[in-house]
A and B are shown apart, each in its own frame.
Chain A
């Protein structure tokens, strides 16, 4: 029972804290008074009695602390005391408090938001059953060292039937279909998947069932089902006409089902059955393959087994000569492209967090400097150093707490702001959200920032000695640099690293923008048309496209029109081996691989791709005789080095080997994106090789919207059931392809600007405090005739020395760090001298500008200060 009583009393002491403290004070006062009275009674002079009594009594503060100790509530009481005192001193300097909290909040918000993104994209588990067991299989082209090549149908079948490393395996290929439900025909993107695909992922349809092997069936995404059937469960069993036939809806996938996207898989709104046929077995390599590891089998097991099987297959078929198999974890495959840039962003934001923390430390130090006298007095009165440090830490913990709360609130908002900015090709954007793990990270980030700030501030506070007050009051200090000088240098260093990263990505982005794509994008619009199987013959298809072009060519504002199998920046298309039949090929695998595009004469005119040698396509190309081909400069140089290719035959490994005659050489064009250098390209005439799916390209002075309008009208009159899709201005396509670089560059530049601002605040803050402390010294200089400029220079010089130290250290770190950017940069070396020199100049300039504020403050110090005492 006694512990309960004493607990209650302790609680009482805590609750009645002020009262108890007052009582303690009163008691000590009374004691002193009695002591003095007694000494006076003994005949000591009152003044002397008071002095000796005080001396004999000793340090009041320490007795009070020991008194608190004796009550057994010391630790808790101290915390409460410190929190109260901390809050009081934070309230006393609201500007400083707000600045510190905002600085911390900025760091916490930025790092939490970026972590939230990176976590969602890279680290969150995939929404499938046992996603760690899912892998992607690729063919590995050993001669070219390309380990992620799409897969031939026959090889998929051999892997599925002969490998025992996998519990299941499925093939899929992107597919889009035209759906004519209602008035507007629509082109819908989806995928053909082999039977058992959804079972392999471990996601069952929410409604209905999975696809079966041999029926015209379709499974819909939740979004498509809601859009087209209004979420009616009776949709299952209904028929949708597409591909010239009728497909029965057998299932609807659950809401939020996020199908794996890798390779050339885009968004998917429906899934159709993929069937291997004699026809598609002859198509070459085009499949994507997903598999689930057999229980107990590791990724390494699967790799070695597949390597063995790959060797067997290479022996069995000449088309597999020089090919093996690679096995990649699904998660790694999906996030592969985004990983590098997200990790760089994560690292950069980490640096920003450290900067924010050190800045908070500087600001805390500044606020502590104001109360140096107060602390020195407390030390003189017998308070222990531990107590002082504890109090400083409490104050920075309070600031950290405030910063964390504000920062995390801002992070939630920031993630909402960033996600729409994300390039559309970033995988798994749907899984970006702020939840437990992300908030935990934010908390840890805030705690780490707080610890740094607290530790630095606490170390600084230890400098106070009981004599500090006396000394400063008496003579003023002359020697010793400003407090926090090293921190300022460190901050400048961090800012250098961040600015170098930003500078490199900016230069890389500029280089990407400046790349000569080889074609003109101005005023060019592209749209895709896929004719239904109803057209039947190539002649009817050709006639239709001819009629569309004719109608468009007559439109006001349209300069030229053309057709191509796939527009530049429109994704991958056919690529195959090409060779010079006049030369003996050493090995099949040595053949040059060329992109093949089917185009008409109008395509080159519209995209302003010049013919550098020979003739352009005739309009129209003859439909008989040996087919003629236009090749690009790269292919001409590879197949006919030092010779003219004009009039020469070239073998193209297409349609069982096509022998074509080189009619002309056109300029190199970047077909895929701005980064990928042009590779060999062969353009075959559309009139010889008709296709039912084509991109129409239209160039003109009319606005893109007007051009698209005329195109729609032309198509609608000729075939009302034909949808126009992938409608885009070429300019926009190019912009979109740069979206990821732009995103990274934008974020890194923002970080760098923030870092520069933080460094400015740090420098200005530290030197303002320094000037305030050295007012007397400056006053004396002024009194001795120093000019204003000399005083400003005095401060500037000190600031620049510190900044210089920081810049040098930062550059060294930046050289090491910038190598990590290697895979992101384009056209810029990681050790780019322009970036490094530029950043050095920027940092020194910014530091000087920041030091100008304290410099000017110093120059306004009156010489009278020297004459007046304190």
Chain B
């Protein structure tokens, strides 16, 4: 097996359902990402700060605590924020369409409904998005 190249992309997955986190992590690692997982908005924000070099974010809408994914995105995409350019993929089952609109308006890269997509699709979507933005 060829060892992973050092220039792996780092993805921050903010998702609270443990079984889902496990499988997402497994899949994304298979797809060649370095995966960092967080369960809440605040945890996600602190990892951004602590880990640094996050290339892309996978974000669920409903998360434990007061804050939803929307609060996270609003914070990141606020003018002048140093992480404003990090692409965000919303992967959720429960966000209402008005929330979806808000997400897209705030500038997230994509919204998808978990139950309707294969992990494969989402992973390759993220990959090709990153490849596209690199070119």
Decide whether A and B are members of one complex. Answer: no
Interface of A toward B, CB cutoff 8 Å: none
Interface of B toward A, CB cutoff 8 Å: none
